[in-house]
Amino acid sequence: MTLRVGRIPYVNCYPVYGAIDRGVVSIGAELVDGVPTALNRQMAQGQLDISVISAVEYARDATRYLLLPDLAISCDGAVRSVVLFSCRPAKELGGRRVLVSRSSMTSVALLELLFEHLWDSKPIFVPADAEIADIGGFGDVDHDARLVIGDAALCLGSRLSHPDTHPDSSLSAAYCYAYDLGTEWKRWTGLPFVFAVWVAQRNAPVSDAMAVHAGLLASRNWGVEHLDVLAAQAALATGVPRADCVEYLSGLDYRLSYEHLAGLTEFFRRLVASGRVPNGSLAFLPAA
């Protein structure tokens, strides 16, 4: 049986799939690309056997999935690709329009918690396309802040931090505040944050799923050892300076250690307390 395996085509997944794409590691499965919400939906509908999904999607329907051990996308501080760009301080966004990503359930849920508990503010959330990196991309959509994720956030952050390379006074004036959600979570809780996890359907053949898991871990290990190669690829794909791509990929963690699990369960606890997800527990695929 050939399993269907979901993959997010953002730079942050390069370290997990880089060796597979280069033929260094084989997982014997069909790769299916999609943004996080698309993969969430396909997993929920049983169209994929294994996939990286939003952490919130796992919490929303934990009885359906098994977590793949020691594999996640997380950070312990700055993440650099999940950022709230704003024209005013977050505490002053009450009653104002904040565009939020349609592509990531976890990022939006984390942003809502930060507004409620850290910034004590109640903005008006407006769903928008996070992949648009240009300020003019929203046309006449009036807003005071926007949540941007993935490569678009990396590109927008680079443009703002390198004004000599990307002169754009209107952009700097529009977004004079930037809140990295990984940094804000760390400041709030002192814990790492897990944005995405890899899961298998509970009805997937266990031996086949374990074989794919072993391949993903081998590819992840290769990727972590070749971040310079992957950063060069990321720079070509995004236009972000190679040094920034190295810094970005080096700041992410692709394990799911006890410390990461502490951050994940704390996030889930807060989601349950706010009524956003049902109470559940973590269940794992047998280790490969």
pLDDT of residue 175: 83
Q: How far apart are the first and last CA of the chain?
A: 18
Sign of CA dihedral 19, 77, 200, 7: negative
pLDDT value of residue 132: 55
Which residues have C-beta within 8 Å of that of residue 67, sequence separation ≥ 6? 58, 197, 198, 199, 256, 282, 283, 284, 285
Task: State which fold the 82-189 domain adopts.
Answer: D-Maltodextrin-Binding Protein; domain 2 (3.40.190)
DSSP 57-122: HHHHTGGGEEEEEEEEEEESS--SSEEEEESS-GGG-TTSEEEEESS-HHHHHHHHHIIIIIS---
3-class SS at 268?
Answer: helix
**CA angle (227, 230, 234) in 5-degree steps:** 130
- Contact yes or no for 36/196 (Cβ under 8 A): yes
For 70-110, the pLDDT digits (tens) are 999 999 999 999 999 999 999 999 999 999 988 889 999 99
Q: How far from 124 is each of 4, 110, 112, CA to CA, in Å?
A: 38, 15, 11
DSSP state of 284: B
* Cα gap 246→182, rounded to integer Å: 18
Q: Which strands form 97-101's sheet, in the order they lie side by side?
A: 124-128, 97-101, 145-149, 82-86, 177-180
- The DSSP call for residue 34 is -
Query: How many whole angstroms separate alpha carbon 184 and alpha carbon 172?
Result: 21
CA-CA distance, 26 to 85, in Å (whole number)?
Answer: 39
Spatial distance between the Cα atoms of 168 and 75, rounded to a whole number of angstroms: 30
Tell me how far apart the alpha carbons of residues 121 and 84 are, in angstroms, rounded to a whole number.
Answer: 14
Which of these CATH numbers, 3.40.50.300, 2.30.110.10, 3.40.190.10, 2.60.120.10, describes 4-74+193-273? Answer: 3.40.190.10
Q: Where are the domains of the chain?
A: 4-74+193-273, 82-189
Q: Classify residue 68 as exposed, middle or buried by CB count within 10 Å of its CB (0-12, 13-18, 19+).
A: buried
pLDDT in tens, 194-215: 999 999 999 999 999 999 999 9
Is the predicted pLDDT of residue 265 greater than 70, yes or no?
Answer: yes
The tally of CA atoms less than 13 A away on the side-chain side of residue 227 is 16
Distance CA 56, CA 3 (A): 23
What confidence score (pLDDT) does residue 142 get? Answer: 81
C-alpha closest to that of 149 among 90, 93, 79, 197: 79
pLDDT at residue 171, as a whole number: 54
pLDDT in tens, 139-182: 446 889 999 999 999 998 888 887 555 545 455 556 889 999 99
